[in-house]
Amino acid sequence: MADLLIVLGRGAGTLYQNIENPDDVWTWIEGPQGPAPEGAILYRFLASLGDVSKPAPFLYTVELDIAEKDLPAVFEWYEKEHLPMLTSCPGCIGGTRYQRLDGGAPNLLAAYRFERPEVNQTPEWIAARSTPWTERMRTLFRGQRRYIRRLVR
């Protein structure tokens, strides 16, 4: 059972729009009930910190493609350092991690709820993503996508 569905385009649910590409809209459905809409990407919940109980004005999505053999090391880094450091930055309301269920790529998703779109440009955020452990983990990223999305509804 999926904990999150993402439908590309406008659907029934919370809508987030890429602030750099207005045509890139995600329908974000947490705790879905019933069958998934056609074309939905299904994820399972891994972890969260902070207040992730409601939509935030901005959602920073980070999609990573990680080899199966490297997942334990990446999970440990996220749990022990990365997620706690990023979610403690000013303007970050909370963050959630997910793993894609269909075997597709990218296979990991992190979603950070922001008060304002520039949170990931603050000195605190930049320091949190510049640790030695983070630099070592980046060598395991086979692919990545990062977008700031604004809440539409």
| Full-model pTM | 0.96
User: How buried is residue 42: exposed, middle or buried, by Cβ count under 10 Å (0-12/13-18/19+)?
Assistant: middle
Q: Position 6: which residue type?
A: I
Domain that includes residue 73, residue range: 44-151
Bridge partners for 148 per DSSP = 60
CATH of the domain at 60: 3.30.70.100
Query: pLDDT digits over 74-132, tens only?
Result: 999 999 999 999 999 999 999 999 999 999 999 999 999 999 999 999 999 999 999 99
- Residue 10 domain-assigned? no
pLDDT value of residue 116 = 98
- Residue 140 domain-assigned? yes
